[in-house]
Amino acid sequence: MVDKSWGGPPLSNVRVRTNDSLEERAARRARERENRAQSRDTGMAERLEARAKAREAGAAERERIRQERREAEAKLAQSDPHTAAAQRRRGSGRKDIVREERDTTGYAMVVDPARIRTLADRGASVDSLAAVLGLSVQEIKDALASGSAEKLR
């Protein structure tokens, strides 16, 4: 059994005998309970404030880094568009070329009955073929009829 003569901290679960009345002891316990609850609340509020400040600081730091990266990419794109395109993050595809919009105004579409039949065999409807190829529905039907006796879609 440990007692006070050994020099350790006082035991919290051992009742200290005093001449206080029951009401005084109950009031003292209530004050101590209130002090413990207040210190817990204060500590929790401080921790919550510290976490909120840390989150805000982290978000500000990430946004600063993002902004610096955007500025660096914009500066690189102005100086060397090919290098900027090669470094740009893409999901797939080649990363060493710059995508350029092609001028397809001079391209001619191949429109022959064999191609029309092939597209129809793959599931293209007569109306869609007419719209895409710039022909009338009757011309598409004639092209399909000339090659095979397959029913029209």
Residue 91 — very low, low, confident or very high, per pLDDT cuts 50/70/90? low
Amino acid 149: pLDDT: 46
Q: Which domain holds residue 65?
A: 19-87
Is residue 81 over pLDDT 70?
yes
| Residue where a domain terminates, one of 44, 63, 87 | 87
Whether 113 and 151 share a structural domain: yes
Structural domain count, the chain:
2
* Rounded-to-integer distance, Cα 37 and Cα 42, Å: 9
Whether 42 and 72 share a structural domain: yes
Amino acid 152: pLDDT: 41
pTM exceeds 0.85: no
User: Which of 3-12, 18-27, 140-149 has the lowest average pLDDT?
Assistant: 3-12
Whether 83 and 108 share a structural domain: no
Structural contact between residues 116 and 133, judged by C-beta atoms closer than 8 angstroms: yes
Is residue 147 over pLDDT 60?
yes
Quote the percentage of the chain above a pLDDT of 90. Answer: 45
Q: At what angle do helices 113-121 and 137-147 cross, to 10 degrees?
A: 90
